[in-house]
Amino acid sequence: MDVINQHTGERWYYSDIVKDHFFHPQNLLLDRPKNEDEFDAHGMVGSPACGDMMEMWMKVCPVGQAAADKAIMARQEHEVRIVDLKWKTFGCASAIAATSMFSVMLTENRGMTLAEALRVRPQDVMMRLGGLPNRKIHCSVLADKAFQKTANDYFRKNGLYDKIIVDGARVIDPRLNITDKDIEEAVLEGAQTLEEVQKKLKVGIGSPELTTEIEQLIRFYKEKYYG
């Protein structure tokens, strides 16, 4: 059955731009980076056990500077420019094409600032792709969610806890802005104990009153996903 391109009225499954980014994806990694320390932040959404999954790695530097200065980045988050954005995914053709275009948009013309990048909407990516079939629009959101996770990782690493994006989740550690979804994803990534979750997230460290709730969530998600 044909699909109507809502932007051009043409009948297709994928536009030529979508097909180009699927067959020739930009900034794609087939394997994890050999040296992840070269990047300033990392994020992952989804799980290979239940379908689409995506990881991102971001490298930044202060606007107007050739080399990254961590102290400046911590003080002036809005002046940080994205100079590299790599990704890998188990997603479908639409997810691959949308993420490829997303990575191009964020790094072209010397790169967007982090603040500008966080304002890019999935609709903006679809417009650059020439549209997606309606039943595949949800795939374009995967890159957006992965980038939010990557940005949050950068904020945490630099102590910018008030910048962390909390979307449809319950905050467990208000000091670090860590949510139940963060704990869920830590368990999905293999953390099985309080110590392992704290190693990933620093959640509850220095706040012993949160320990019971964190442990309850870990048990809940372990039973949910691993039986």
Of 1, 49, 50, 71, which residue is the catalytic one?
50
Composition of the chain by helix, strand, coil, percent to 5: 50, 15, 35
Could you confirm whether 92 is annotated as catalytic? Answer: no
Angle between helices 194-201 and 180-188 (to 10 degrees): 110
* CA gap 57, 150 in Å, rounded: 7
User: For residues 21 and 96, is the Cβ–Cβ distance under 8 A?
Assistant: yes
Q: Is 50 known to be catalytic? A: yes
How is residue 127 annotated by DSSP? Answer: H
CB atoms within 10 A of CB 195: 8
Catalytic residue among 85, 93, 98, 139: 139
DSSP assignment of 86-109 equals: EEEE---HHHHHHHHHHHHHHHST
Pairing of strands 53-62, 178-179: unpaired
Show which residues are catalytic: 50, 139
